[in-house]
Amino acid sequence: MSNFDSVATVKKGTYWQPFTANRLLQANSPPRTLVAAKGAYYENVEGQKLFDTLSGLWCTPLGHAHPLIAEAVKNRSIHSILLPLFR
């Protein structure tokens, strides 16, 4: 059994885990869908609020949908969405 197989066995029915092939996690269970995020919580299609234990790793400790960050992104995107570093 590979490492991915053991992770899939333990984590069946959970949401996607980092560094894990999503297809292995969903082998015997339907995919779970997250529809919103605010602060330190996600919300799934059933309306359940789930504490985001990975935001410090993948996002920032400020949480999801922080109003100041959203406003800064909005204001910057008015000028340009992408400014590549290539010359």
Residue 13 pLDDT level (bands cut at 50, 70, 90): low
Q: Where are the domains of the chain?
A: 3-79
Burial 40-68 (b: 16+ CB within 10 A, else e): bebeeeeeeeeebeebeeeeeeebbeeee
Q: What tokens were used for 48?
A: 């359940």
Q: Give the tokens for residue 46.
A: 């059933």
Residue 87 in this model has a pLDDT that exceeds 50: yes
Does pLDDT of 7 surpass 50? no
The per-residue pLDDT of the chain, averaged, comes to 73
- 4 band by pLDDT with thresholds 50, 70 and 90: very low
Report the distance separating Cα 16 and Cα 29, nearest Å.
12
pTM above 0.75, yes or no: no
Most confident of 43-47, 53-57, 62-66: 43-47
User: Interior CA angle at 68 toward 42 and 62, to 5°?
Assistant: 45
